[in-house]
Amino acid sequence: MPPPSTAPSGVVESLVHRLVSRRVTVREVEPVGDAFRLVTLVGEDLENRRWIPGDMIQIGFAGLAGRAYTPLSFDLRTGSTTFLGYVHGHGIASSWLASATIGEQLFLVGPRSALGLDAVNRPMLFFGDETSFGTAAAIRATPEGTRDVALWFEVESAEASRIALERICVTNGVTLTTREPQDRHLDRIESDITRALRAAPQARCVFTGKAPSIQRLYRAVRRAGISAKQVINVAYWAPGRKGFSGVQR
């Protein structure tokens, strides 16, 4: 699998962002423990937009390129959308989330295509991390809902993650695995997913979250005989890289 790429960065993207962005207001911010914020944005420009579960929105910050988040719901009638943001502590969007306040105005681009969950057949084997909880919740809004979906997450804190997932009602079929040094925890996830594929070789894999983890799982399922067409990879972030925009393969 080629390395996930970032969108063209810097000035050009920032200008494009300003040209196509819509103004929205923060309607609600709910802290879910220290590490997550459930944010609802509202704006007339969001009314009657087209939203497909798995789409991203990009929020602009002070002349910088947008930062991507995945709505877990989108009310086209009222022009409001909610996402769960992870406060990882290393970037501008993460800092903003930690202190976001009701009534703040933001510039937003989207919803834009990132991961077409609507088109994913079942069984679905979904992998991600804290940044993917909202995407997992958006599966509910697909035509097949949560039927035959199994979810694996690698996380820093199983306790904080469990609370966040319960808050957004993602509880069925969830396996939480705490990160370990040298990514040893991925051994277990890899063997779980390949076992599930042996039982259901027609299953579809959806891998999101941290780029190196996705790359490793992608190689594992390909070795297990799964065709490239059965796997969707969308990297949400990579260590040391700023502002991923979402790349589908």
Ligand X SMILES: Cc1cc2nc3c(=O)[nH]c(=O)nc-3n(C[C@H](O)[C@H](O)[C@H](O)COP(=O)(O)OP(=O)(O)OC[C@H]3O[C@@H](n4cnc5c(N)ncnc54)[C@H](O)[C@@H]3O)c2cc1C
Nearer to ligand X, 84 or 220 (CB): 84
Residue 131 touching ligand X (CB under 6 A): yes
Residue 167 touching ligand X (CB under 6 A): no
Residue 157 touching ligand X (CB under 6 A): no
Residue 244 touching ligand X (CB under 6 A): yes
Residue 136's SS3 state is helix
Tell me the pairing of strands 174-178 and 204-210.
unpaired
Residue 245 touching ligand X (CB under 6 A): yes
| Footprint (CB under 6 A) of ligand X, residues 55-84 | 56, 67-70, 83-84
| Footprint (CB under 6 A) of ligand X, residues 102-121 | 114
Residue 241 touching ligand X (CB under 6 A): yes
Residue 88 touching ligand X (CB under 6 A): yes
Cross-strand bridge partners of residue 172 = none
CB count within 10 Å of CB 56 equals 25
List contacts with ligand X (CB under 6 A).
56, 67-70, 83-86, 88, 90-94, 114, 130-131, 134, 234, 236-246
